[in-house]
Homo-oligomer: A and B are copies of this chain.
C-alpha cells in the first residue's frame, strides 16, 4: 500500500515537518520504495516534485524537506507499486488542466479491472490510479463546460466516485488549488491544528516541533494522512466511504458513499 499526505490551510504553510515523518516511511522504515511525489499549489500555479527513487535517500526529497515551500493545498504520495511498473510516468501526484485550473490527484489502494471513462483526459502511464483520475476529470468535463458551483461540482464528483468502490480500495486526494477533496474507502486520518497551538512529535523519527513558534493565533492547518504521523496528538479516523471537502483548513462539505 502507498501512503498519502495532504494539507489544507488558511494561510500559506510549509509541510516540512509532516513530510519529514512521511519520507522516513519511503524505503527507510517502510516498504514504500517505489517513488514519491508532492504537489504544492501557489496561487493558480502548482509546483510538483516527482522521483521514482525511494524518498528516504532522494536528493530531491531532501530539498523538499529542508526548503520551506508555503502552500494552502498540498498533496503528497509515497508509492509501493502494485499496478504499473516503477517509472516517472507512474509516480503520483498526477496533474492535468481543466477549465483553466490545474488539478492534482493521488491514490492509495488497488482497483481491479478499472478502465477510465472515455474522454479528453487519457492516462500517460499504466497505473489504475491515473485511470481513476482521468475518469473523474472526464466525468466533470462532460458535465460542465465552465467551473460550476462547488456544491454542484462536488455532487458530480462524489457520484463519479461511487463506481470506484466496486473495484477495490480507493483512498484519494484531489485538489484544484482552491480546495482539497479526500475520499476514504479503507484508511485515512486527519488532524486540525489551531490556537492554542502546542508541540508535536513525529512517530517515525526523533523530531519535534513547537507550532507556537511558527504560527499566528488565526492559523488553521489540517493535515490528512493514511496513518497518523505524530504520537502525542489525537488524530481522527475517517469512516469507510467518507468524503470531505477541505478549504482553508476546515471541512466545508462532507458526505458518505456507500457501496
Chain A residues proximal to chain B, CB less than 8 Å: 42-50, 52, 59-60, 63, 67, 87-91, 95-97, 99-102, 120-125, 141
Contacts and interface: CB of A to CB of B under 8 A. Distances in A.
The 7 closest A-B pairs by CB, nearest first: A45-B88, A45-B89, A100-B122, A44-B89, A42-B88, A120-B120, A59-B67
Contacts of A46: 88
A89 to B, nearest CB: 4
Contact of A48 (B48, B90, B120): B48
Contacts of A100: 122-124
Give the copy number: 2
Nearest to A102: B124
A191 to B, nearest CB: 28
Given A96-B97, A97-B96, A124 B45 contact: yes
Nearest to A58: B67
A61 B67 CA distance: 12
Q: Which of A59, A100, A123 has the most CB of B within 10 A?
A: A100
A188 to B, nearest CB: 27
A99 to B, nearest CB: 7
B124 A88 contact: no
Contact of A45 (B63, B91, B97, B101): B91
Contacts of A44: 87-89, 124-125
Nearest to A94: B97
A60 B67 contact: yes
A125 to B, nearest CB: 6
A81 to B, nearest CB: 14
